[in-house]
Structure formats: structure tokens, C-alpha cells
Amino acid sequence: MRDNVGMELRVWAPDTIGEITHGTDLGELIVTHLPDLADGDIVCVTSKIVSKAEGQILTATDREDAITSETVRLVAKRTRPDGPPLRIVENHLGLVMAAAGVDASNTADGTILLLPRDPDASAVRMRAAVRKRCGVNVGVVISDTAGRPWRAGLTEIAIGCAGLTPLEDFRGASDTAGRELSVSVTAVADELVNAAELAKGKLGGRPLAVVRGRGDLVLPIGDDGAGARSLVRLGESDLFSMGTAEAIEYGRSLASPR
């Protein structure tokens, strides 16, 4: 945790990255397009290029089948008059997302993209590659786009990270009135990827960005941290874990017999 008074952040995203294909060396891509990286920088990477580089591409014979195969648990489902039903599901990463994160945008016609199988491990490899090639200690965060309950619009979430403190814990500190904070834990990895998204944009073909100015969040060499998996609430820690159908069935199971 640091005192943020007088803090200055710099965020930038390079152009002309080009198309990513299966087998693209993402570490080489980063150092080629971000040649001025320094210790403490945080590299933010769009999950789409990780999926492409790692071969998470399917022929889109049936997107709905792909969503089903990526689904661990159906949370909610809503029929639509103009297309297939909208499904909110928990996927294999523990993320609750629309369509399990299966994506048909910015990919070749007739194909769809799945999320990386292990984005924390992908971030570890990219961090190590940057260290090997440039000799600098950076954090790496992989992001994907997601909706939010009770809020309109999409935003970015961190689905993988390495060398970074994903949660900034203020518990035990005092607020400006001297009261001790007891619940304030900030999802700083999510905040970083949203700052990066302002520079990357949705349509500019800029899947890489750097956030400079929060080197205090970058962990020492050799410590990759807890990863973005630590941001996922599962089981009893998720107060809204059940979808409508699940909640109704659970309520019936608890009801006293008449």
C-alpha cells in the first residue's frame, strides 16, 4: 500500500501490432512493440491475442455448443426473440460471464475464440520472457471484457496476472477521520486493466498497453504472486452464486413439508 498523494500515472498503447496467429511469441511481441519498458511497469494484454497465440480457436460450427462445452454451471438464462438464449454461466476459470467468454468478434469469419486455458500461467510466461529479453522486472495482466450485475455497459476484468499484487488491502489503515478500515480491499488488477483499456480502445487494434507509476504493486523477481484466480469468489464467499432456477429449487428443499 502506498500514499497516493501526488501520484502520476502514464498509460500508453502502441499501434500497428498486426494480426496474431497460433504460435506467435507474445514475449517477443511485447518487447518489440514496447521497447522502453522499465522496472515497475505493468504490461496489460488483451486476452484475445493470448487465445489466438495459444490456439484457442474453433471453427464456428455451432457457437452454442462451444458455450455449453465451456460451461461448468448455468447461473441464469433468458430467451430472446431474435436469437439464441442469453446464458450467464460459470466457466472453467471460475468466471461468471455471458456466453462463458466465447467470443466471435475480431476473429476470422467462421471461427470463434475461447478464453486462454490458464491465463495466470500465460502471464507468468510473458513476464519471464520480458525479464529474459530486456532485463526488467514488470507485472503482466491479461484482461477480458465482461458485463456487471446491476450496472449497464461492459468493462475490463483481470483474468490472469503475474508479478503483481492483484488486491490492494487497506484493512487496518485509517481513513481521513481516523476510523480504522475493516473491509476495504481494492481489486487493483481490474482497475489497472481498465486504465489500460482507455488507451487501447475497442477498435484501434491496440491489444497491448503499459501502465507506469504503480511500481509498488510489482512483486520482486521470482515472486509471481497469487494470480488473478485470487480475485474470483467461489462457493460460500459468493453471496449471489445461485441463479434463479437454483435459488427456487434450493428454497423448495428447505421448505417444511405441509
As a three-state string, the secondary structure of 36-105 is: CCCCCCEEEEEHHHHHHHCCCEEECCCHHHHHHHHEEEEEEEEEECCEEEEEEEEECCCCEEEHHHCECC
What global pTM score does this model have? 0.88
Cell, residue 71? 460451461
184 and 62 co-located in one domain? no
Angle subtended at Cα 93 by Cα 125 and Cα 252, rounded to the nearest 5 degrees: 170
223 in any annotated domain? yes
Phi, psi of 228 (to 5 degrees): -70, -15
Mean pLDDT computed over every residue of the chain: 88
Distance CA 42, CA 29 (A): 15
78 and 134 co-located in one domain? no
Query: Residue 69 is part of a domain; what is its CATH number?
Result: 3.90.1660.10
244 in any annotated domain? no
Q: Using one digit for the tens of pLDDT, what is the confidence trace for 84-106?
A: 888 999 999 999 999 999 987 77
Locus of grid cell 521497447: 35
Q: How confident is the model at residue 182 (pLDDT cuts 50, 70, 90)?
A: low
Q: Taking 60 as the threshold, does the pLDDT of residue 4 lie above it?
A: no
42 and 126 co-located in one domain? yes
165 and 66 co-located in one domain? no
Distance CA 169, CA 226 (A): 14
84 and 107 co-located in one domain? yes
Least confident interval from 50-54, 106-110, 203-207: 106-110
Least confident interval from 52-66, 161-175, 202-216: 161-175
Q: Taking 90 as the threshold, does the pLDDT of residue 181 lie above it?
A: no
Q: Taking 90 as the threshold, does the pLDDT of residue 162 lie above it?
A: yes
Query: Residue 17 is part of a domain; what is its CATH number?
Result: 3.30.1330.100
**Percent of the chain whose predicted confidence (pLDDT) is above 70:** 88
**Percent of the chain whose predicted confidence (pLDDT) is above 90:** 62
243 in any annotated domain? no
Domain that holds residue 98: 57-114
Q: How far is CA 187 from CA 7, 22, 132, 165, 192, in A?
A: 18, 31, 29, 9, 9
**What count of other Cβ atoms lies within 10 Å of the Cβ of residue 60?**
17
- What does the pLDDT read at residue 3? 54
83 in any annotated domain? yes
Q: Taking 90 as the threshold, does the pLDDT of residue 231 lie above it?
A: yes
Higher local confidence (pLDDT), 174 or 158: 158
- What does the pLDDT read at residue 239? 64
Amino acid at 246: E
164 and 222 co-located in one domain? yes
221 and 95 co-located in one domain? no
150 and 199 co-located in one domain? yes
Q: Taking 60 as the threshold, does the pLDDT of residue 2 lie above it?
A: no
* Number of domain units in the chain: 2
Q: Taking 70 as the threshold, does the pLDDT of residue 256 lie above it?
A: no
- Cα diameter, the chain: 72
Would you say 53 and 149 are in contact if contact means Cβ atoms under 8 Å apart?
A: no
242 in any annotated domain? no
Q: How confident is the model at residue 143 (pLDDT cuts 50, 70, 90)?
A: very high
